[in-house]
C-alpha cells in the first residue's frame, strides 16, 4: 500500500503542475476579454446612437436595438448627412487631414535624418547638442503660445495651416529624436561599417540601410504623433481659429456641443466620424507599432 501511494504522488504532482498554467491562461484570457468588452461597449453605444432617430434616443436606450438588430426601420443615416453637409464636418475632416499628415511626416523625416547623424556621425559636441534637444521635452507647449503667435503674426502666417504644421512638428521633434536615435544607434555596427567600406555616402546609408530597418520605430512614433495631432484641440484652436476655411474636426465638434448640445444623435455622429481614421490607422500599423515598442528589449 505504501509503495503504491509513493508511486502515485509524482503523477498527482505532475498533473497539478500541468493544470495550474491552464487555469492561469484561462483566467488571463477572461480578464483580457472583459477589458475589451468594457472598452468596446461605449463605442458600440456611440455608433448605435449615431444611426438612431432623435425621437427614439429620447424614449429608449441604445441597447433596445439589440432586440431586433436587423430591423432596418430603427436606423437612419440622416444624422451623418446633417453633420457632414449642414454642420460643415466634411470640410473640417479635409482640414484635419491637411493639418495632420504634414505635421506627422515633417518631424518623422527631419528627426530620422538627425537621429542618424547623432547615432553614426561623429562630430565635436554631438552628445551635448543631443542632450539639449532632449531637454526641450520639459518645456510646456502652453508657455510658448504668446511669443510664437507674435512671431507668426509678424510673418503673416497666423491662422494658416503652415502655422499649425510648424507648432506640431517643432514640439514633437525632441521626443521623435530621442526615440529614433536610440533605435538607430542599436542597429548592427557591421552593416554601417560594411557600407562605408564599399564607399557608400551618408545619404546612401541612411536611405538604403537605416531607413528601411528603422520602419518599426518610425511607425510606432508616427501612430502616437498622428493620434495626438488628430485629436488635438488647443493648438489647432489657438493657431488656426474657428474659421470654416481652416477649422478642424475637434473645433467643429466643440461648436456642435455649444450650438446643438441637446441633439445627442448629431453629437454622436460627429464624435464617431472623428474616431474612424485614428482607429483605421492604428489597426493598419498595429504590427509595426508593437515591433517599435519592443525594439531593443531583446537581443539576438
pLDDT at position 71: 82
Highest mean pLDDT among 20-29, 30-39, 65-74, 95-104: 95-104
Classify residue 156 by its DSSP letter.
T
Cell numbers placing 225: 504623433
Give the total residue count for the chain: 300
pLDDT at position 91: 92
Reply yes or no on whether the pLDDT at 124 is more than 60: yes
Overall average pLDDT of the 23-34 stretch = 85
Q: Computed from CA positions of residues 22, 23, 26, 31, in that sequence, does the dihedral angle turn out positive or negative?
A: negative
For the whole model, what pTM was predicted? 0.80
Residue 13 — pLDDT band, cuts 50, 70, 90?
very low
pLDDT at position 163: 92
Reply yes or no on whether the pLDDT at 154 is more than 80: yes
Interval 199-252: pLDDT, tens: 888 888 998 889 888 888 888 888 889 989 999 999 999 998 878 788 999 999
Question: Which H or E run contains 225?
Answer: helix 215-231
pLDDT at position 21: 60
Cell numbers placing 197: 567600406
Overall average pLDDT of the 128-133 stretch = 88
Reply yes or no on whether the pLDDT at 6 is more than 50: no
pLDDT at position 299: 45
pLDDT at position 294: 60
Overall average pLDDT of the 176-186 stretch = 89
Cell numbers placing 262: 441637446
Mean pLDDT, the chain, rounded, equals 83
CA pair distance 33, 25, nearest whole angstrom = 12
Residue 158 — pLDDT band, cuts 50, 70, 90?
confident
Contacts of 229 (CB under 8 A, 6+ apart): 99, 100, 103, 104, 168
3-state secondary structure of 45: helix
CA distances from 81 to 33, 54, 90, 252, 253 (A): 35, 14, 10, 15, 15
Amino acid at each position: 500500500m505504501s509503495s503504491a501511494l509513493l508511486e502515485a504522488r509524482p503523477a498527482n504532482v505532475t498533473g497539478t503542475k500541468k493544470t495550474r498554467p491552464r487555469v492561469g491562461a484561462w483566467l488571463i484570457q477572461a480578464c483580457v476579454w472583459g477589458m475589451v468588452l468594457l472598452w468596446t461597449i461605449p463605442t458600440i453605444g456611440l455608433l448605435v446612437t449615431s444611426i438612431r432617430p432623435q425621437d427614439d434616443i429620447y424614449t429608449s436606450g441604445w441597447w433596445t436595438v439589440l432586440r431586433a438588430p436587423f430591423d432596418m426601420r430603427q436606423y437612419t443615416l440622416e444624422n451623418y448627412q446633417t453633420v457632414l453637409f449642414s454642420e460643415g464636418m466634411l470640410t473640417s475632416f479635409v482640414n484635419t487631414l491637411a493639418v495632420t499628415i504634414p505635421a506627422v511626416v515633417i518631424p518623422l523625416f527631419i528627426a530620422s535624418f538627425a537621429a542618424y547623424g547623432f547615432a553614426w556621425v561623429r562630430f565635436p559636441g554631438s552628445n551635448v547638442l543631443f542632450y539639449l534637444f532632449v531637454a526641450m521635452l520639459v518645456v510646456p507647449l502652453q508657455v510658448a503660445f504668446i511669443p510664437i503667435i507674435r512671431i507668426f503674426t509678424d510673418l503673416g502666417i497666423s491662422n494658416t495651416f503652415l502655422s499649425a504644421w510648424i507648432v506640431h512638428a517643432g514640439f514633437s521633434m525632441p521626443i521623435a529624436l530621442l526615440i529614433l536615435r536610440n533605435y538607430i544607434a542599436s542597429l548592427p555596427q557591421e552593416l554601417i561599417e560594411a557600407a562605408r567600406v564599399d564607399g557608400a555616402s551618408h545619404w546612401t546609408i541612411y536611405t538604403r540601410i537605416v531607413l528601411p530597418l528603422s520602419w518599426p520605430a518610425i511607425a510606432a512614433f508616427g501612430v502616437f504623433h498622428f493620434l495626438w495631432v488628430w485629436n488635438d484641440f488647443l493648438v489647432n484652436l489657438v493657431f488656426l481659429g474657428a474659421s470654416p476655411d481652416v477649422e478642424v474636426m475637434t473645433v467643429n465638434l466643440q461648436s456642435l456641443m455649444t450650438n446643438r448640445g441637446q441633439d445627442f444623435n448629431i453629437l454622436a455622429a460627429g464624435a464617431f466620424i472623428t474616431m474612424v481614421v485614428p482607429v483605421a490607422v492604428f489597426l493598419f500599423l498595429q504590427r509595426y507599432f508593437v515591433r517599435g515598442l519592443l525594439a531593443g528589449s531583446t537581443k539576438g
